[in-house]
Structure 1
């Protein structure tokens, strides 16, 4: 066989190996960047979860210190639990948050409350205050428990 053909084959082989190495390095970088992106997203997700948990605990403390109405606190905690630990909705003592949410979800809030008939608002407020009074011991028990709960 001719030496020129052998050297040409070697050169072509080296070029092919170089191209494959280049392709492998490029794909490796893509994978590493995707992994870094995934880790960054997981870190953001974990930070958001920690913020939600902190909010739950702060609302519970505010209810215990009577800085927020218990019905409002229950609604807020229930909504936050939807994102953090929805399995707690059915567990004692935490189920009271869902109970209060369900009992008050028909009541207007924010702008709808401002534009609603005043007599209706007084009636709904009386209903809400009665719910708060009836469920206050359970709400306080759940607030103490969730304040110390390890999520």
Structure 2
């Protein structure tokens, strides 16, 4: 074999070795990134789970109104990142139904701006919906007292 061919083979082997090393380095970086993302997601879910359990407990101890708890829990469940997220409205239908009935009502500053008559009408609408769903929502809140989202 001529020295030119040997030189080209060595050069090709060096290039392939360099590319293989670079590919391995990129795969390692990807694995580290995926692990970091998974850890952050698990931390986020842990905070959401704790909030769901706290609100559920507060509802059961009557420290939080049923309507407010349903509103908050529905939003938190929507933000939990797991494979069963889409099933939460089916698993906790009363919480989601109450949320759907009262989520359009004004709150905070928006509520303060309403005329007294409209505030009273909205309060009545909210209390009526809460009374309708109270027992069912509290039963679901009891289940949520031990809520843990499935881990990835």
Do both share a fold (TM > 0.5)? yes
Match of 1:80 in 2: 76
Residue 73 of structure 1: CA displacement?
Answer: 0.3
Structure 1 gap ranges (5+): none
Aligned residues: 145
Match of 1:90 in 2: 90
Q: After superposition, what is the alpha-carbon deviation per residue over 1:5-51, rounded to whole angstroms, capped at 9, x for unaligned?
A: 72333223212211210111012111211121122112111221222
TM-score, length of structure 2 as denominator length:
0.85
Q: After superposition, what is the alpha-carbon deviation per residue over 1:80-139, rounded to whole angstroms, capped at 9, x for unaligned?
A: 122333312123xx2111111111022112332122222211221122122222322112
TM-score, length of structure 1 as denominator length:
0.86
Match of 1:106 in 2: 104
Structure 2 gap ranges (5+): none
Q: 1:64 aligns with which of 60, 63, 67?
A: 60
Structure 1 residue runs of 4 or more that deviate by more than 4 Å after TM superposition: none
Which structure ranks higher in relative contact order (CA pairs < 8 Å, sequence separation ≥ 6)? Answer: 2
Q: 1:118 aligns with which of 111, 116, 124?
A: 116
> Rg bigger for which structure?
1
Higher mean C-alpha displacement, 35-44 vs 68-77: 35-44
